[in-house]
Amino acid sequence: MHNDVDHDPMTDTTAAAAAPGLSVAVIGAGARSYIGRHVSAAREGARVVAVVDTTEIGRERGRQNFPDAAIYGDLSELIAAGGIQAAIVTTPDHTHEAIAVELLTAGIAVYLEKPLAIDLQGADRVLTTAAETGTPLYVGHNMRHSGVVRTMREIIERGEIGEVKAVWVRHFVGNGGDYYFKDWHADRSKTGTLLLQKASHDIDVVHYLASGYTRRVVGMGDLMVYGGITDRRDRSGETMPEWFSFDNWPPASQTGLNPVVDVEDVSMMMMTLDNGVQASYQQCHFTPDYWRNYTVIGTEGRLENFGDTAGGVVKVWNRRHEWQADGDVEYPIEGVASGHADADLLTMTEFLDHVIDGAPTVVSPIAAREAVAAGSLAAESLRSGSVPFTVPDLPDHVLEHFSRATTPAPERTSR
Ligand SMILES: NC(=O)c1ccc[n+]([C@@H]2O[C@H](COP(=O)([O-])OP(=O)(O)OC[C@H]3O[C@@H](n4cnc5c(N)ncnc54)[C@H](O)[C@@H]3O)[C@@H](O)[C@H]2O)c1
């Protein structure tokens, strides 16, 4: 990879070192790199001073989106230049492990996009590196900060449905064709499974709502629609917003799919958590609508969300009756009307406060690892005749490190 430093690294390093606050780099200037723009809003004095992307078109996006930043073509050049205290990693999933390990080893605090890694060994390597170097690690499970999840969690914490016993999630990924089947996301070697790329959010939320982690998992699924589309093309140089359209309907009429499409477009998994809670998650990438529906059943009621952004509602039924469309109690969902910009800002704030002040976090790397464990083992199960798998434990010293570094309760740091 050629050297593509737009600014004199020495000058930039000196400037970064002299600046008050925190000098931050964005690694991977693709569609998701816009979260780098939350840095200065999230924490006074923090700013993006460098961007790394291995492609020229990515570096050009970096120049446009972060005009004051130094641009690099390779992570090692950034590290060698010095002066960076934190990095936001928004590269494809299969690169997360190596990039995170390199940054952590260099003492640069890491905001790593989910999923933590594309398999359990990779996830454990990242956590072990963070524990052994002591460098702060944070994984961007922004959904914990979304209005719908906060509302559901608060209902449970107030005891309105009693003790949680079952969590069922239906995930209608209406944008799936555009989001996941037209670039690297469709390729198992880059994502492992959409049970990580997409479901790691929801598995984490299941764990959060149930206050437990998956111990045993089984999966079923198939590639049912997109595998039959033969119109394929390499979209290198484009990013998802350039091809996204609600007019791409019905799903079988989609064109320009990624040359490799070998991830499932329907995936289902069932989980037994360490506290006995029973959970299931279903994901379909060719529905007309795009949202997630959670049902949480406790010993004294159940809740269910309708819509997962502002305008939606979480309904609670906690009296005995037959079918009733209205909840016995209903809570409006706060936040943005679409997407998750509000949760993204809260997530970035949490990361920067953790790095600068050592503040505890709601999103722990252990939880991110447990989401990878459940999702990757569910995919292994569905690809091998639905055999059940048991999640292995993390080494004790890694668990102990993160139990000190993140919020001890209600987050669980050991099984
Ligand atoms: N938390 C969320 O809500 C959320 C939403 C969207 C995406 N994401 C995550 O963000 C990550 C990026 O997704 P995206 O849609 O932006 O992908 P993308 O393909 O649009 O962008 C990836 C960028 O990384 C660059 N890149 C690839 N390998 C690199 C390397 N080794 N070093 C530096 N740059 C490299 C590519 O050139 C590209 O510019 C994924 O892991 C995804 O799961 C999270």
Which tens digits make up the pLDDT trace of 111-143? 999 999 999 999 999 999 999 999 999 999 999
Question: What is the predicted pLDDT for the residue at 18?
Answer: 36
Does residue 295 sit in the same domain as residue 213? yes
Residue 57, H or E segment: helix 56-65
Taking the CB of residue 281, how many other CB atoms lie within 10 A of it?
27
Beta strand 109-112 with 86-89 is parallel
pLDDT in tens, 209-222: 999 999 999 999 99
Does residue 131 sit in the same domain as residue 206? no
Among 37, 76, 91, say which to mutate for ligand 1: greatest number of ligand atoms within 8 Å of CB. 91
Protein residue whose Cα sits closest to atom 25 of ligand 1: 28
Q: Is 330 left (phi over 0), alpha (psi -120 to 50) or beta?
A: beta
Does residue 230 sit in the same domain as residue 132? no
Query: Is the CB of residue 347 below 6 angstroms from any atom belonging to ligand 1?
Result: no
Taking the CB of residue 250, how many other CB atoms lie within 10 A of it?
10
Does residue 172 sit in the same domain as residue 294? yes
Strand partners, 217: 271, 389
Protein residue whose Cα sits closest to atom 7 of ligand 1: 32
Taking the CB of residue 209, how many other CB atoms lie within 10 A of it?
22
pLDDT in tens, 372-388: 999 999 999 999 999 99
Q: What is the DSSP string of 297-364?
A: EETTEEEEEESSSTT-EEEEE-S--S--SS-SEEEEPPS-SSS-HHHHHHHHHHHHHHHHH----SS-
Query: Is the CB of residue 265 below 6 angstroms from any atom belonging to ligand 1?
Result: no
Closest by CA position to 48, among listed 39, 60, 56: 39
Residue entry with tokens 């993006």: 48
**Could you tell me where the beta strands, DSSP code E, fall in 235-277?**
266-273
Mean pLDDT for 331-354 is 91
Tokens describing residue 126: 């990242």
Question: What is the predicted pLDDT for the residue at 65?
Answer: 97
Using DSSP's 3-state secondary structure scheme, residue 290 falls into strand
Does residue 162 sit in the same domain as residue 208? yes
Cα(104) to centroid(ligand 1), Å: 19
Arithmetic mean of pLDDT over the chain: 92
Query: Is the CB of residue 283 below 6 angstroms from any atom belonging to ligand 1?
Result: no
Closest by CA position to 353, among listed 126, 4, 21: 21
Above 90 in pLDDT, residue 323?
Answer: yes
What's the number of CA atoms in the CB half-sphere (13 Å) around residue 380? Answer: 15
Distances (CA, A) of 135 to 78, 86, 234: 17, 10, 37
Protein residue whose Cα sits closest to atom 10 of ligand 1: 90
CA distance 146 to 151: 9
Identify the band that residue 31 occupies on the pLDDT scale cut at 50, 70 and 90.
very high
Question: What is the predicted pLDDT for the residue at 21?
Answer: 84
CA distance 24 to 2: 23
Flag whether 320 is in a domain. yes
CA distance 161 to 165: 10
Does residue 129 sit in the same domain as residue 218? no
Q: CATH number of the domain at 69, please.
A: 3.40.50.720
CA distance 402 to 127: 9
Beta strand 278-284 with 266-273 is antiparallel
Closest by CA position to 89, among listed 336, 338, 351: 351
CA distance 65 to 78: 18
Among 1, 32, 66, 238, say which to mutate for ligand 1: greatest number of ligand atoms within 8 Å of CB. 32
Above 70 in pLDDT, residue 17?
Answer: no
Question: What is the predicted pLDDT for the residue at 11?
Answer: 33
The residue out of 142, 164, 188 marking a domain boundary is 142
Flag whether 354 is in a domain. no
Question: What is the predicted pLDDT for the residue at 405?
Answer: 64
Q: CATH number of the domain at 269, please.
A: 3.30.360.10
**pLDDT > 90: what percent of the chain?**
88
- Between 409 and 346, the more confident residue is 346
Above 80 in pLDDT, residue 301?
Answer: yes
Closest atom of ligand 1 relative to the 239 alpha carbon: 20
Yes or no: say if 116 and 375 are a contact pair by the CB < 8 Å rule: no
Cα(114) to centroid(ligand 1), Å: 10
Does residue 63 sit in the same domain as residue 167? no
Taking the CB of residue 325, how many other CB atoms lie within 10 A of it?
6
Amino acid at 397: H
Flag whether 411 is in a domain. no
Distances (CA, A) of 268 to 116, 128, 172, 184, 271: 21, 30, 12, 22, 10
Does residue 126 sit in the same domain as residue 266? no
Range of the domain at 51: 9-142
Q: What is the DSSP string of 191-242?
A: HS-HHHHTTHHHHHHHHHHHTS-EEEEEEEEE--SGGG---B---TT--GGG
pLDDT in tens, 96-116: 999 999 999 999 999 999 999
Question: What is the predicted pLDDT for the residue at 20?
Answer: 57
Flag whether 1 is in a domain. no
Flag whether 310 is in a domain. yes
Closest atom of ligand 1 relative to the 114 alpha carbon: 43
Yes or no: say if 153 and 159 are a contact pair by the CB < 8 Å rule: no
Does residue 148 sit in the same domain as residue 38? no
pTM exceeds 0.85 = yes
Q: At what angle do helices 120-133 and 96-105 cross, to 10 degrees?
A: 10
Identify the band that residue 403 occupies on the pLDDT scale cut at 50, 70 and 90.
confident
CA distance 155 to 314: 9
Closest by CA position to 170, among listed 295, 340, 297: 295
Above 80 in pLDDT, residue 284?
Answer: yes
Above 80 in pLDDT, residue 78?
Answer: yes
The residue out of 97, 126, 142 marking a domain boundary is 142
Report the domain count for the chain.
2
Flag whether 30 is in a domain. yes
Identify the band that residue 13 occupies on the pLDDT scale cut at 50, 70 and 90.
very low
Flag whether 355 is in a domain. no
**pLDDT > 70: what percent of the chain?**
93
Query: Is the CB of residue 204 below 6 angstroms from any atom belonging to ligand 1?
Result: no
- Which of 76-90, 119-133, 186-200, 333-347 has the weakest average pLDDT? 333-347
Query: Is the CB of residue 202 below 6 angstroms from any atom belonging to ligand 1?
Result: no
- Cis peptide bond upstream of 67, omega within 30: no
- Which of 20-24, 102-106, 273-277, 356-360 has the weakest average pLDDT? 20-24
Cα(161) to centroid(ligand 1), Å: 39
Does residue 153 sit in the same domain as residue 28? no
Yes or no: say if 87 and 25 are a contact pair by the CB < 8 Å rule: yes
The residue out of 95, 115, 142 marking a domain boundary is 142
Yes or no: say if 184 and 191 are a contact pair by the CB < 8 Å rule: yes
Does residue 192 sit in the same domain as residue 277? yes
Yes or no: say if 215 and 415 are a contact pair by the CB < 8 Å rule: yes
Closest atom of ligand 1 relative to the 340 alpha carbon: 3
Does residue 188 sit in the same domain as residue 121? no
Taking the CB of residue 64, how many other CB atoms lie within 10 A of it?
9
- Cis peptide bond upstream of 410, omega within 30: yes
Among 26, 90, 185, say which to mutate for ligand 1: greatest number of ligand atoms within 8 Å of CB. 90
Flag whether 261 is in a domain. yes
Question: What is the predicted pLDDT for the residue at 112?
Answer: 98
Tokens describing residue 144: 């914990």
